[in-house]
Amino acid sequence: MRSDNNPPENALEFKNQMTKMNKNILIGVLILLVVVLGYYAFSNKEKDSLQNETEQVVARTETNDYFAQNQECLKYKGEIVTKLENKNSPFGDASLEQIFYSPKVNSCVYVEYTEKGGFYNKRLLDFRNDGYSSDPLTMCSAVSPLPAIRETYEKLDGNLTRYQKDLIGCDNFEEKLTEYR
């Protein structure tokens, strides 16, 4: 018999040695591949875990900041109410409907509600820029649900279809506000 370090004596023995060597190389490559894939999967799991923790901390911080900024905006409520009570608006008597911090505008914004002659308006205004000539960030107008107006629509149209369409002019106003929250 011969040892593995000696050269093969015939072609069949050489072929068997090469097959064993190829199997050993293949097994080595597979083991290396498993180790690399295991390392990659483990490192990604750690990165994902760290990223999720970071996102949670950032979300909590943003929520806390948003809450604090909303609280800061509430300090201006009295000033806005006084301004609206003394405002001579062509839209009618104005009142404050809501106030909140808008990250989009990076300022306190508020919803002004006015009603005059059976119509009402809601206008979103920036607290820093809310003079008489300022444009609202968004607004809506609708027919207020007064019985006299309802009766007029019934007499003119025979049904409430147009009245209901005009009445819902501000129904989606809260949806308009979501982009500012």
- 106 and 46 fall within a common domain: no
CA angle, 69 as apex, 63 and 71 as ends, to 5°? 105
pLDDT at 84: 86
pLDDT at 75: 93
- 87 and 165 fall within a common domain: yes
- 92 and 167 fall within a common domain: yes
- 68 and 89 fall within a common domain: no
Confirm whether 59 is domain-assigned: yes
Token pair recorded at residue 118:
């059976």
Token pair recorded at residue 67:
């809450």
pLDDT at 23: 79
- 92 and 174 fall within a common domain: yes
Find the farthest-apart pair of alpha carbons in the chain and give their distance in angstroms, rounded.
117
pLDDT at 21: 77
- 83 and 168 fall within a common domain: yes
pLDDT at 100: 92
Spatial CB neighbours of 56, under 8 Å, sequence gap ≥ 6: none
- 97 and 170 fall within a common domain: yes
Structural domain boundaries, residue 121: 77-178
Spatial CB neighbours of 111, under 8 Å, sequence gap ≥ 6: 96, 97, 98, 99, 122, 123, 124, 125, 177
pLDDT at 3: 54
- 112 and 161 fall within a common domain: yes
Sign of CA dihedral 118, 119, 124, 129: negative
- Domain boundary pick from 30, 59, 74: 74
- 99 and 152 fall within a common domain: yes
- Domain boundary pick from 32, 51, 74: 74
Total number of domains constituting the chain: 2
Average pLDDT by stretches of 10, the chain with 181 residues: 58 73 81 83 67 63 78 91 83 87 90 82 86 79 65 64 56 81 84
